[in-house]
Structure 1
Amino acid sequence: MSAFCGMDTAQARDHAQRLRTASGAVEDLRSRLDPAIRSATWTGPDAEEFRRRWTELSSGPLGTAVQNLAVHGDRLLGQADQQDVTSDADGTEHGPPGNPSTLPAADAGDSHLGYLRDDDPWLPDWLEGPLENGMAHLAGTASDLIGWGVDAGIDALEGGLGLFGVNTDGIAQFQRDAGHLGGVLEDWATGRRVPTVAELGASSLLAAGSGLIGLYEAATGTDTPLLDDRPGGIVDGITTSTEPARSPQTLQDLVLENNGLRRRGEEAVAAGNIGIQEVRSADGAEPVYIVQVPPTEGEAITDVPGAYGEQGNSRDWGSNLRLVAGQHPAAMDDVQAAMEAAGVPPGARVMLVGHSQGGIIANQLAADPGFNNASGAPGTYDITHTFSVGSPVQTVVPAQSTTESVNVHHGFGLGPGGVSGDLIPRLDLDGLQVDGGTLGAPNRHEVSLPGYPVPSLDPVRILESNHDSVGLNGEADAGYAGSVADATATDPTLSALQRDLTGVYIGQGTYVARSTVVSVGRGEP
């Protein structure tokens, strides 16, 4: 008698996530130690020898460990996905335990992962591995040497200017933004991942802008808050209701509730709202949480520097640029602080909902393995879904394969009624990568819906009609709320998302046991 035991895909995914989390932890430790070691005020032969040994360790064994952990984690996730496909053929369910997803897999066939993770059909496996690892090691060493030289030069410049009482805060900001750009380029050169054009472009703009600001501050002695990258997470107020309430019933309700959290006028300049609902089901299952992140707020786009770093509300226009660049700005700190303030326990199942910048924040958090994982460690959550409207989010994919990411945008059209379409979600260039690929994943879904025709070529009028979550006068049947309502029953992705969420986060059999609105921001510059 013989027996066959198949893969437990849930355990495989848990282990894969632990590998990927470990990779991120090692990389985070390396990135923290590197500048500390290089900038240490220690001179002499022993110091130089110590720095040389650190450079060898950082670019060699530690770099290899980061790459190997990530590669093995990705391969194990891929094997689990393949096993699920095989199980489907036998009629076996797959997906997150207790709530298998019914969303159709998105097409990710043209996504490039980096030469360490993509198979080269022109090279045999026995040659491909050693050759690519050698290239990655060489590129990493070169990058570390360049980074060391740049940091040393900037540190010397800061030290020299500081002796004359010159303001060097802007130069330090440039160093951070330039370091992020260098990290993006290093990831590409070492084969760990292929960045998108939007990410690389935004990172380059930030580095160039911060460089000019640093020179301006040093020359004039003026400390400007323009592109200020100070952290957020300062809780200004908490409003909580423990009276049981009706839960959202549809995807449209989620969009409307997001819009209801928006602040207006001067109130929106000081801080922003994050809404958190604790949702329970009639069957007594563990509670789940809906986290609502509204869009850009505060000063107008034309207000410089008010809308680009000066205001206390972190969701300003400058944060849009930092988010597309793949940074972790204050706006992401705010969501994490709000969740902690609202008492969302580590490891809880969470759905993130956002509009415009709120959707970018949600997807960037879901793409962070230090935030989105099922380990239950402090500060981590099991993000099961992100749902966003009007957001340029095709620059990242979720850190967990079990996280379903859905973004809705209004596609461009020209007809008898005029011009329609939303430009904002196209700023990610549809995920175009720098080598010609298109970033994507089976769980990263982009839904294009018909927009609202405007009988004018005025780009502002077209944008106002197609980008807002509700109509120009607050109509629930217009804006993204209206188009989502119209398409939920017919669009295969939205109808599947509605089924996934019903009975867990929304709809019959659920209720809101606790509702919290957290006012949070980054304070004064």
Structure 2
Amino acid sequence: MEAEASTNRQRVATLQAQHQGVLAMRPPVWFGKAADRSRQDFRLMLHRWAELADLLGQQAEIVSDAAAELRRLQADQRDLQRNAVSKRFSIGDSGWVSSTASFPASLDPRRAWWWSELSGAVVSIVLRLNGFDGRTAFALGKLVVNDLLDGAQQTAIDWTNSGFAGAQDLLSGANQWMVDAAEVLWPDAVGPLQAWQRASNGFMDEAGRQPRWLQEMLYTGKLPAPAEVLGQGLYLGMHGIGDLTGTQFFDDGSPYVPTLRGTEQINGPASVTDLVANLDRPYDTRGPDDSDRTDRPAVEVSVIEGHPPRFIVNVPGTTIGMGSINGWTGDIEGTDWPADAKAVGYGDSAVTQSTKAAIDMAIREYESTHGPIERPNILLTGHSQGGIIAANIAADPAFTARYQVDGVVSAGSPINTIPINPDVPVLNFHHTTDVVPKLDLGGVHDQPNVTEVHLPRWTDPGTAHGVPTYATDVATHSQGNADIQRFNDLLAPYLTGQGNVVTYQYDIGRQ
């Protein structure tokens, strides 16, 4: 039993190491519906892998505890046997105690008491053996039952995934049947039916994407935050209008494969105040003409040299305002209102995937001249939608397996609905009159790793939401605020104030 327990512990260690190895693999850049389903299947497989490793570990502990208890029973049996021999008794295979004393020792009046004492000890050991067997069987059986329940949960997840895919396929087949039938029976209806086919298929493609809150509920039973459900409903409802009108209204589209715009040397941050002031930099990567729709925003990845090197990722926020029609119609910049709603409701968006790919590419570019890094250290920063993107990336278990995310610093971002990895410390600033960070409705789940710093500000919401205002107020309050000072210490390896910090700029967005 001890050998089996030891072997299974070794198997658990191997499985866990392999599990972490698979998680840490940097996947190729791949986008689209098939990629989404592949990621869902991959997550399901890794979740089951981790569960089975845990199950095997529990089985090893039960067997090890049973072996220890059995050793104690065997020791008590040996003591009982020695006691019986010393008093000239034998214990048969059936447990019957027999006298082996010869005359005149057999006449000792104490032998009746010794016989009853030894017989009672035999009965006690038999009861302990039966109890041991029953307890061990129950504990192992409980593992089987729990695994069956986990299997039922996995079946529910599989059915949900299949239901989404099946509904899409069913509607797509029905639409095609109507178009084919109309070509024969009612040619004038072919055009409108084809328009409906395009619209409904497009809507089902979006509706078939499982939001993160649904996956979390299926995997963990955690109920969604209201803002997540509202965000998904807003995105789907507005996207449906676009599908019905044959436009790209509220269409998040597909991620853009990032391209290296170039590198720049900047002064590295020396404090949290500098990190917040730098949140304006990604906005400046766009050209001076806001009407130029061919200009994309860029993610900045700055290298803080050291052993190991560290990377500061600066993510742009919303670059197209609600007052512009381009902010509603799936612009290639990708950082617009559709992306905002989708990032809150789904935990993902085209520009989020594009940003993750840009981080991969920037670090691979650095590794091409400096050698591979086993698990690069990263600090994620962003303003407004940039903070949402940064927090969603920090909540992606596949990303945090590949990278050591040492923190998130955001300003004016509604991130309290995002299940950020609890090992990642988060600092989020919000102004009194800035309505944007309040759109998460405060969230409903406690996140001890998220520190919210309120900055009193009674100006108009637009001014209160701006990066310059946040930079000014963070600088004003940095000396007397314990949370800001704590993060200055926590993020000290990034806040070196180095000069000539190499910064990679990668264009991102949607196709």
Q: Tell whether the structures are fold-level matches, with TM greater than 0.5.
A: yes
Q: Which residue of 2 aligns with 1:475?
A: none
* Deviations, residues 434-478 of structure 1 (Å, cap 9, x unaligned): xxxx252x3x31323232123xxxxxx2x11321111xxxxxxxx
* Residue in structure 1 matching 2:426, options 390, 396, 405: 405
* Residue in structure 2 matching 1:225, options 233, 248, 251: 248
Distance in 1 between the 2:501 and 2:37 partners?
A: 46
Q: Which residue of 2 aligns with 1:521?
A: 509
Which amino acid in 2 is paired with 1:423? V
Q: Which residue of 1 aligns with 2:303?
A: 278
Q: Does 1:448 align with 2:453?
A: yes
* Residue in structure 1 matching 2:462, options 458, 461, 464: 464
Judge which range, 317-326 or 334-343, deviates more.
334-343
| SS of equivalent to 1:203 | helix
* Residue in structure 1 matching 2:438, options 408, 426, 430: 426
Taking a change above 3 Å as real, the CA distance of residues 35 and 266 of structure 1, as seen in their structure-2 partners, is: closer
* Deviations, residues 56-76 of structure 1 (Å, cap 9, x unaligned): xx99xx99865554668999x
| SS of equivalent to 1:353 | strand
* Residue in structure 2 matching 1:311, options 331, 335, 339: 331
Higher RCO (Cα < 8 Å, 6 or more apart): 1
Q: Does 1:372 align with 2:372?
A: no
Distance in 2 between the 1:63 and 1:260 partners?
A: 34
Q: Which residue of 2 aligns with 1:104?
A: none
Asked whether the equivalents of residues 232 and 342 of structure 2 are also in contact (C-alpha less than 8 Å), the reply is yes
* Deviations, residues 88-144 of structure 1 (Å, cap 9, x unaligned): xxxxxxxxxxxxxxxxxxxxxxxxxxxxxxxxxxxxx88994795476356446535
Report the alpha carbon displacement of residue 337 of structure 1 after superposing the two structures with TM.
Answer: 3.9
Distance in 2 between the 1:294 and 1:74 partners?
A: 40
| SS of equivalent to 1:521 | coil
Report the alpha carbon displacement of residue 481 of structure 1 after superposing the two structures with TM.
Answer: 0.8
* Residue in structure 1 matching 2:348, options 328, 335, 358: 328
Q: Which residue of 2 aligns with 1:360?
A: 388
Asked whether the equivalents of residues 453 and 483 of structure 2 are also in contact (C-alpha less than 8 Å), the reply is no
Q: Which residue of 1 aligns with 2:168?
A: 151
Report the alpha carbon displacement of residue 360 of structure 1 after superposing the two structures with TM.
Answer: 0.6
Distance in 2 between the 1:74 and 1:448 partners?
A: 38
Gap runs ≥5 in structure 2: 1-12, 56-141, 181-189, 368-372
Q: Does 1:170 align with 2:199?
A: yes
Which amino acid in 2 is paired with 1:365? I
Asked whether the equivalents of residues 366 and 398 of structure 1 are also in contact (C-alpha less than 8 Å), the reply is yes
Report the alpha carbon displacement of residue 32 of structure 1 after superposing the two structures with TM.
Answer: 5.3
* Deviations, residues 400-439 of structure 1 (Å, cap 9, x unaligned): x4422221112xxxxxxxxx4221111112222xxxxx25
Distance in 2 between the 1:492 and 1:212 partners?
A: 48
Distance in 1 between the 2:249 and 2:255 partners?
A: 16
Judge which range, 176-185 or 329-338, deviates more.
176-185
Taking a change above 3 Å as real, the CA distance of residues 71 and 247 of structure 1, as seen in their structure-2 partners, is: same
Asked whether the equivalents of residues 270 and 311 of structure 1 are also in contact (C-alpha less than 8 Å), the reply is no
Asked whether the equivalents of residues 315 and 381 of structure 2 are also in contact (C-alpha less than 8 Å), the reply is yes
| SS of equivalent to 1:407 | strand
Q: Which residue of 2 aligns with 1:506?
A: 495
Report the alpha carbon displacement of residue 277 of structure 1 after superposing the two structures with TM.
Answer: 1.2
Q: Does 1:216 align with 2:260?
A: no
Which amino acid in 2 is paired with 1:150? A
Which amino acid in 1 is paired with 2:236? A
Q: Which residue of 2 aligns with 1:89?
A: none
Judge which range, 183-192 or 333-342, deviates more.
183-192
Q: Which residue of 2 aligns with 1:240?
A: 263
Report the alpha carbon displacement of residue 178 of structure 1 after superposing the two structures with TM.
Answer: 1.5
| SS of equivalent to 2:230 | helix
Asked whether the equivalents of residues 276 and 339 of structure 1 are also in contact (C-alpha less than 8 Å), the reply is yes
| SS of equivalent to 2:406 | strand
Report the alpha carbon displacement of residue 358 of structure 1 after superposing the two structures with TM.
Answer: 0.4
For 1:260-279, list aligned pairs within 5 A.
260-262=281-283, 263=286, 264=288, 265-267=290-292, 270-279=295-304
* Residue in structure 1 matching 2:310, options 288, 297, 308: 288
Asked whether the equivalents of residues 168 and 205 of structure 2 are also in contact (C-alpha less than 8 Å), the reply is no
Q: Does 1:254 align with 2:275?
A: yes
* Deviations, residues 274-320 of structure 1 (Å, cap 9, x unaligned): 22211114xxx12211111121002x30334x212432211111100
Taking a change above 3 Å as real, the CA distance of residues 225 and 211 of structure 1, as seen in their structure-2 partners, is: closer
* Residue in structure 1 matching 2:319, options 290, 297, 310: 297
Report the alpha carbon displacement of residue 197 of structure 1 after superposing the two structures with TM.
Answer: 1.8
Report the alpha carbon displacement of residue 255 of structure 1 after superposing the two structures with TM.
Answer: 1.6
Report the alpha carbon displacement of residue 498 of structure 1 after superposing the two structures with TM.
Answer: 0.6
Taking a change above 3 Å as real, the CA distance of residues 467 and 327 of structure 1, as seen in their structure-2 partners, is: same
Report the alpha carbon displacement of residue 34 of structure 1 after superposing the two structures with TM.
Answer: 11
| SS of equivalent to 1:297 | coil
Q: Which residue of 2 aligns with 1:117?
A: none
Distance in 2 between the 1:20 and 1:312 partners?
A: 33
Report the alpha carbon displacement of residue 183 of structure 1 after superposing the two structures with TM.
Answer: 7.0
Asked whether the equivalents of residues 276 and 291 of structure 1 are also in contact (C-alpha less than 8 Å), the reply is yes
Which amino acid in 2 is paired with 1:353? T
Report the alpha carbon displacement of residue 335 of structure 1 after superposing the two structures with TM.
Answer: 1.8
Greater fraction helix: 2
Asked whether the equivalents of residues 228 and 345 of structure 2 are also in contact (C-alpha less than 8 Å), the reply is yes
Report the alpha carbon displacement of residue 328 of structure 1 after superposing the two structures with TM.
Answer: 2.7
Q: Which residue of 2 aligns with 1:474?
A: none
Report the alpha carbon displacement of residue 157 of structure 1 after superposing the two structures with TM.
Answer: 3.3
Report the alpha carbon displacement of residue 344 of structure 1 after superposing the two structures with TM.
Answer: 4.6
Taking a change above 3 Å as real, the CA distance of residues 449 and 173 of structure 1, as seen in their structure-2 partners, is: same
Distance in 1 between the 2:263 and 2:255 partners?
A: 21
| SS of equivalent to 2:206 | helix
| SS of equivalent to 2:439 | helix
Q: Does 1:387 align with 2:392?
A: no
Distance in 2 between the 1:402 and 1:448 partners?
A: 19
Taking a change above 3 Å as real, the CA distance of residues 18 and 134 of structure 1, as seen in their structure-2 partners, is: closer
For 1:120-131, list aligned pairs within 5 A.
129=146
Distance in 1 between the 2:455 and 2:475 partners?
A: 12
Asked whether the equivalents of residues 235 and 520 of structure 1 are also in contact (C-alpha less than 8 Å), the reply is yes
For 1:87-236, list aligned pairs within 5 A.
129=146, 133=150, 136=153, 139-140=156-157, 143=160, 146-147=163-164, 149-160=166-177, 163=180, 164=190, 166-167=194-195, 168-181=197-210, 184-185=213-214, 187-189=216-218, 191-217=220-246, 224-235=247-258
- Percent identity over paired residues: 21
Asked whether the equivalents of residues 36 and 209 of structure 2 are also in contact (C-alpha less than 8 Å), the reply is no
Q: Which residue of 1 aligns with 2:6?
A: none
Q: Which residue of 1 aligns with 2:20?
A: 18
Taking a change above 3 Å as real, the CA distance of residues 521 and 127 of structure 1, as seen in their structure-2 partners, is: closer
Q: Which residue of 1 aligns with 2:378?
A: 350
Asked whether the equivalents of residues 198 and 325 of structure 1 are also in contact (C-alpha less than 8 Å), the reply is yes
Distance in 1 between the 2:358 and 2:467 partners?
A: 23
